[in-house]
Structure 1
Amino acid sequence: MTKLNQIIAVEKGIKSDALRQLGETHTSLQKPGLLAGIARTYQPKDEEGEQLPPESTRVQVTSEEVLRQTAATLTRLFDVTATKDWANTEADADVRVDGEVLLSAVPVSYLLFLEKQLADLYAFVKKLPVLDAAEVWSFDDSSDTWRTDAVRTIRTKKVPRNHVKAEATEKHPAQVEVYYEDIAVGYWTTVKFSGALPARRINELAGRVEKLQQAVKFAREEANGTQVTDRKTGDVVFGYLFR
């Protein structure tokens, strides 16, 4: 018995061969000389006239033969494709993760869809924003975000001060230098919040996606190992078209 994965393996080659042969056939039909033939003989007016040999050109391509070749070329393609498409409606497999059936009797077409979607999801998960590793974060249920512990910092204000470099005399005023001193005037209490995720959470999600990707691939291989029934549609189709 033929298996679905065997049909899939040969389908591409059969299709490319069919297209090549059809291209060659189409090219031959565009050359009128290949479809034309002639036969002529010469007869002199009297017995003493010059004798010339007969001339002939054989028809090299006939349209009916082209139709037969086209039907033969496409029949195999039609049969293989029909066998694959009918089998795809019957072939399925369970998707198992850690020995448990996550999805049961999944058809091949949906398994292929899942593979594509999971590849996109993996790329999405790997691009999720990560919490700043320089901070210590804890989850805050009330805001549904991550938060840091409160950090208290001093708020200062520059206050001018006078420094007397020289006292005043009868002849000279005092020499005073102005400088600024940072004086504590209050305290900031800061808590940082973030909607990003811890790196371990992102790695966990990516790991789940990868595990499911493997499970889907295994299921697809199992489904593609389903035995198929050969379908013969080509003879019916071309029996009607070119009869």
Structure 2
Amino acid sequence: MTKLNQILAVEKGVKAGTQRALTDAYHTIQKAPLLSGLSRTYQPIDDEGEQLPPESTRVQVKAEQVLADVAKALTRLFDVTATKDWTNTVARADVVVDGRTLIEQAPVTYLLFLEKQLTDLHTFVAKLPTLDPAETWTLDDNLEVWRTEPVKTTRTKKVPRNHVLAEATDKHPAQVQVFTEDIVVGYWTKTAFSGALPARRVNELLTRVQKLQEAVKYAREEANATTTEDVQVGDRLFAYLFA
């Protein structure tokens, strides 16, 4: 008995072959000379006249035969697709992670949808912001954000000072050098807050997404192993269309 995954394996090739057959048929019937033929003979008016050989052109393309070829190619595609779609209505499998069944008897079409969504979700989770590892963070339950321990730093102010290099005399003024001195005038207390996540939390989320991805792929493979029932609709369709 044929499995669904075997039908899926040949479907692409059948589609490509059918498309080529349709394209070739379309181009063939556009070439009017191929569908035309003639037969021409010559007879002089008397026995003394010049004898000329007969001329003939054979019809190379018959439209009915082209229709038959198109029907044959499309019948194969219609039957393969019908077999796939009919089987998809019954192909199901459970999604199980760590022994826990998250989805029971999911249709294969839904499993394909989940695979695409989980790929996008994995990209999203991988880009989640993480806390600066250079800091020590604790969770502030009141604000529901992460915070660092307060860090106290000084605020300084430059104050001009005079340094007497030489005292004044009755002959020379004092020699004074002006400089500035940093004086502590206050204190800053800084606490950093962040709405990012700890790296371990992001890694945990990534692991969960990856486990579910693997479970969905396994379920899809199991569903695709469903035995198909050969569905043949093409002959009936073309018996009507091209009769």
Deviation at 1:179, TM superposition (A): 2.0
Runs of 4+ in 1 over 6 A off after TM superposition: none
| Distance of 2:71 and 2:127 partners within structure 1 | 52
Match of 2:54 in 1: 54
Output the amino acid matched with 1:18. T
Deviation at 1:98, TM superposition (A): 0.7
Deviation at 1:40, TM superposition (A): 2.9
Q: How many residues align?
A: 243
* Residue-by-residue CA offset, 1:178-221 (whole Å, 9 max, x unaligned): 22222222221111111111111111111111111111111111
Is residue 2:99 matched to residue 1:105?
Answer: no
Please state whether the residue corresponding to 1:158 is helix, strand or coil. Answer: strand
Please state whether the residue corresponding to 1:142 is helix, strand or coil. Answer: coil
Is residue 2:95 matched to residue 1:92?
Answer: no
| Distance of 1:151 and 1:30 partners within structure 2 | 84
Match of 1:114 in 2: 114
Match of 1:63 in 2: 63
Deviation at 1:47, TM superposition (A): 4.0
Match of 2:123 in 1: 123
* Residue-by-residue CA offset, 1:81-113 (whole Å, 9 max, x unaligned): 111111112111111101111111111111111
Structure 1 window deviating more from structure 2 (45-54 vs 133-142): it is: 45-54
| Distance of 2:161 and 2:49 partners within structure 1 | 142
Output the amino acid matched with 2:43. Q
Please state whether the residue corresponding to 1:83 is helix, strand or coil. Answer: helix
| Distance of 1:63 and 1:198 partners within structure 2 | 71
| Distance of 2:148 and 2:174 partners within structure 1 | 53
Gaps of 5+ in 1: none
| Distance of 2:157 and 2:44 partners within structure 1 | 130
Match of 2:73 in 1: 73
| Distance of 1:207 and 1:228 partners within structure 2 | 35
In the TM superposition, 1:1-243 aligns within 5 A as 1-243=1-243
Output the amino acid matched with 1:184. V
Gaps of 5+ in 2: none
Deviation at 1:53, TM superposition (A): 4.0
Output the amino acid matched with 2:63. S
Output the amino acid matched with 2:197. L
Please state whether the residue corresponding to 1:203 is helix, strand or coil. Answer: helix
Please state whether the residue corresponding to 1:90 is helix, strand or coil. Answer: coil
| Distance of 1:161 and 1:55 partners within structure 2 | 123
Deviation at 1:154, TM superposition (A): 1.8
Output the amino acid matched with 1:230. D
TM-score (norm 1): 0.94
Output the amino acid matched with 2:85. D
CA RMSD between the two structures? 1.5
| Distance of 1:160 and 1:115 partners within structure 2 | 71
Q: Percent identity?
A: 66
